[in-house]
């Protein structure tokens, strides 16, 4: 039994942050029903239409899409009155609704929090957007790179005198957006257990990014200078919290901040005379030069084998394909196999939180858009004739 078993979620989101949020909740047992635009679901999800018409390559693309796992899909054209009526019927029994449209869209469609709460006051309704539902930037479009710019994260990455380093779409989309949204939903559900009342959640990815910078922001708010790219101990200024190129062209990371780790690092690198100078920035260029020269004498794996014998914070910098094959990540269950009806076993990233009593699980691969439309509607009491009529009128897909 999953920790969130019995929680019913309607997912109106499209791009990565919302689907990641509901994937996390689905992994923990929640019943996630995707509400996909009839006729457009495949484009919106960047996935091919499934079913008999799909090629094997298209089926594989869909099957390996972990963001869609543990979910069902209902195709609705919410611009039609009939589809809105179906949605509201489902919303009456829903515990959670997640939407990721631009501010104001769900209001125009008639499926906003106010409309749903009028018939289901216990609903937890989350709107996930780039800049939130209020504020001067609310109506601006954007992507992860824009949200980490406004949130302050991009301004602290990179090396001095060089352009900011763009960290894929991890910080805003997945951490500041999807992960924060899942946390907010579970928090609101716990509140509902005590009060019986649902609530509205306005989750802005730019807010999430700034929250992730809480520690650094605390120093700035207290009067310290804002960290610049490559100028802070934790973003590249310290020789003992940095990366070094090895003899094979691969890279290795060192994170030995604490004094005892620093002392061991100096011993391992053959320079115990550096031990008094961990925080002496005037000596950092000399220390970094020594480390740079030394790391070029061995391969990445040789350094890992050697430094693993010391009590030092050190690890190889892995590419994603290497991380997926890494024995530790495999031993931790961070690559799992999920059954697919035609492709057999497909590999996906595993579940990060390891709950002892109610562990999460990747139970099913992503559905193709609208795959469960008929099943859902039959479960709502619609006859096959009524379903056919709804499809003919363009209300469902």
Look at residue 96 and give its three-state secondary structure. Answer: strand
- List CB contacts of 313: < 8 A, sequence separation 6 or more: 254, 255, 256, 257, 261
Contact present, 78 and 87 (Cβ < 8 Å) = yes
Catalytic residue IDs = 143, 173
Widest Cα–Cα separation across the chain: 84
Q: How many residues does the chain have?
A: 397
| Euclidean distance between CA atoms 13 and 225, whole angstroms | 39
Task: Tell me the pairing of strands 31-37 and 199-204.
Answer: unpaired
The angle at the Cα of 269, spanning 280 to 252, to the nearest 5 degrees, equals: 90
| Nearest-angstrom CA–CA distance, 12 and 98 | 6
Joined together, the tokens standing for residue 118 give: 């009028």
Distances (CA, A) of 210 to 172, 215, 221, 266, 283: 9, 10, 13, 35, 33
Q: How far is CA 245 from CA 66, 96, 209, 297, 300, in A?
A: 33, 48, 30, 10, 8
Burial class of 349 by CB neighbour count within 10 A (0 to 12, 13 to 18, 19+):
middle
Rounded CA separation 216/230 (Å): 14
Asked if 8 and 93 touch (Cβ cutoff 8 Å), the reply is yes
Between helices 214-221 and 205-212, what is the axis angle to 10°? Answer: 70
What one-character-per-residue DSSP string does 246-303 give? -TTS-EEEEE--SHHHHHHHHHHTT-GGGGGGTT-GGGHHHHHHHHHHHHTTS-HHHH
- CB–CB of 71/338 below 8 Å? no
């Amino acid at each position: 039994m999953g920790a969130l078993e019995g929680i019913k979620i309607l997912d109106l989101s499209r791009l990565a942050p919302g689907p990641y949020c509901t994937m996390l909740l689905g992994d923990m047992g929640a019943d996630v029903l995707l509400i996909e635009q009839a006729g457009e679901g495949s484009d919106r999800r960047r996935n091919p239409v499934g079913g008999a018409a799909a090629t094997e390559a298209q089926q594989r693309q869909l099957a390996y899409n972990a963001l869609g796992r543990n979910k069902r899909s209902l195709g609705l054209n919410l611009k039609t009155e009939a589809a809105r009526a179906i949605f509201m019927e489902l919303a009456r029994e829903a515990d959670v609704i997640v939407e990721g449209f631009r501010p104001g869209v769900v209001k125009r469609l008639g499926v906003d929090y106010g409309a749903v709460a009028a018939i289901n006051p216990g609903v937890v309704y989350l709107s996930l957007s780039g800049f939130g539902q209020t504020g001067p930037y609310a109506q601006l479009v954007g992507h992860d790179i824009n949200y980490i710019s406004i949130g302050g994260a991009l301004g602290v990455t990179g090396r001095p005198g060089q352009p900011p380093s763009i960290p894929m779409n991890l910080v805003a989309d997945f951490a500041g957006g999807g992960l924060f949204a899942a946390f907010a939903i579970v928090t609101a559900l716990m509140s509902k257990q005590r009060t019986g009342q649902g609530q509205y959640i306005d989750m802005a990815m730019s807010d999430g990014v700034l929250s992730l910078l809480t520690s650094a922001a605390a120093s700035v708010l207290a009067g310290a200078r804002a960290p610049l790219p490559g100028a802070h101990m934790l973003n590249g200024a310290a020789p003992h919290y940095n990366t070094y190129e090895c003899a094979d062209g691969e890279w290795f990371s060192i994170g030995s901040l604490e004094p005892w780790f620093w002392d061991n690092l100096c011993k391992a690198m053959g320079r115990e005379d550096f031990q008094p100078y961990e925080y002496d920035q005037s000596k950092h260029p000399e220390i970094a030069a020594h480390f740079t020269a030394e790391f070029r004498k061995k391969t990445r794996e040789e350094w890992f084998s050697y430094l693993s014998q010391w009590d030092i914070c050190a690890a190889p910098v892995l590419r994603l394909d290497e991380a997926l094959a890494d024995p530790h990540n495999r031993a931790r269950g961070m690559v799992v196999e999920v059954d697919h009806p035609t492709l057999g076993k497909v590999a996906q990233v595993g579940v990060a939180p390891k709950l002892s009593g109610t562990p999460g699980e990747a139970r099913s691969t992503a559905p193709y858009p609208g795959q469960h439309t008929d099943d859902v509607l039959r479960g709502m009491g619609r006859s096959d004739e009524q379903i056919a009529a709804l499809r003919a009128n363009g209300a469902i897909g």
